[in-house]
Chains A and B, each alone.
Chain A
Amino acid sequence: MEALDGISAEVAKIFAGKEKRRHDLARLPFPEKVQAVIELQELAATRGKIVKPWSASCTGV
């Protein structure tokens, strides 16, 4: 039981860390978020998704 509690505590710590990371990402300035979206698109393109990642600067739109 103690071992299980230990695992639960460890998993809870991992989840809390992930949660904090997501909230930190949400607080990024918008241009940095746009850059992150472009990086996600590039990643999707490398995995066979037929997609043209956006250009680095979207200010022309």
Chain B
Amino acid sequence: MTAFQIIIIAILGIVAIFAVVGAFRRSIGRPAAVTILIVSIAGILAAVDPDRTTRVARTLGINRGTDLIVYLVTLVVFQGFVVFYLRLRKVRRELTLLVRHVAILEASSRTDRDRDPDDAPEAKARDS
């Protein structure tokens, strides 16, 4: 076994342990933990026996194991991009709702102050 294989197996092993621990502590969702675990185990198997990826690739009609890995990584990265973008969209939407809410609250409190200056928070603080 080469030094590179040992390093890869160690890293993926640690990632797999984090996924399992995270799932038990509920800091990672179960679907995400299962996905990370499957990808880590597949990576470890491929690192232990590189020819295995070629055999799997040929059963799928792809010539080289490297090509199979490139296709899979492309799919995973794209899926990750879509998930990240949709989450960012949701956070932006929530930020917009917050900003709009604050703008209306501030404007309403200004209108109230203009209508009755004695009701203004500054006036109440001064009077007390």
Is A bound to B? no
Residues of A within 8 A of B (CB): none
